[in-house]
Amino acid sequence: MSAHSTQHKTAFSHLFFWFMFANGGGLAALVLPVHILVQGILGPLGIVPVVDQHYDTWISVLGNPIVKLYILVLVALSFFHFAHRLRYLLVDFGVPAAKSVPAQAIFYGGAVVVTIATIWILLTTAPLF
């Protein structure tokens, strides 16, 4: 066996997807419950005032570049995490086709599509400054 054949190659695709999966899961775990609680339950019930219940406050907050970046990172990372989990859930439910390359293209491609749509929505909804 030659020395060349024993060299290890860095699996960059694995590195990338595990980075997205782990950080997406972590970020969603840290911040998503409070978004859902405040924006989805307490605000609509009128228990607390929330930025997205009034047009002027919502559009003002959305115009902030830090908020745009935060929403983009939250959505992009989370959707890569969701894509990975749902694909393997299908495998667990007895759908081996979910391991295939076309299935990977659909799930991770879906995450890419949502990320691109998020960029477009954030850039077109509220002016940056």
CB of 62 to other proteins, least distance (A): 6
Q: How far apart are CA 42 and CA 62, in angstroms?
A: 20
By CB under 8 A, name the one of 11, 15, 36, 116 that touches other proteins: 36
**110 Cβ partners below 8 Å, 6+ apart?**
79, 83
Measured CA distances, 38 to 47, 88, 97, 119 (Å): 9, 31, 39, 24
Q: Does 85 bind other proteins (CB under 8 A)?
A: yes
CB of 9 to other proteins, least distance (A): 23
Please name which of 27, 64, 6 lies closest in space to residue 35, comparing C-alpha atoms. Answer: 27
Q: Does 129 bind other proteins (CB under 8 A)?
A: no
**Region near other proteins per CB under 8 A, out of 1-9, 29-37, 98-106:** 29-37
For other proteins, the binding residues (CB under 8 A) are 22, 25-26, 28-41, 43-45, 48-62, 71, 74-75, 78-79, 81-82, 85-86, 88-89, 92-94, 114, 117-118, 121-122, 124-126
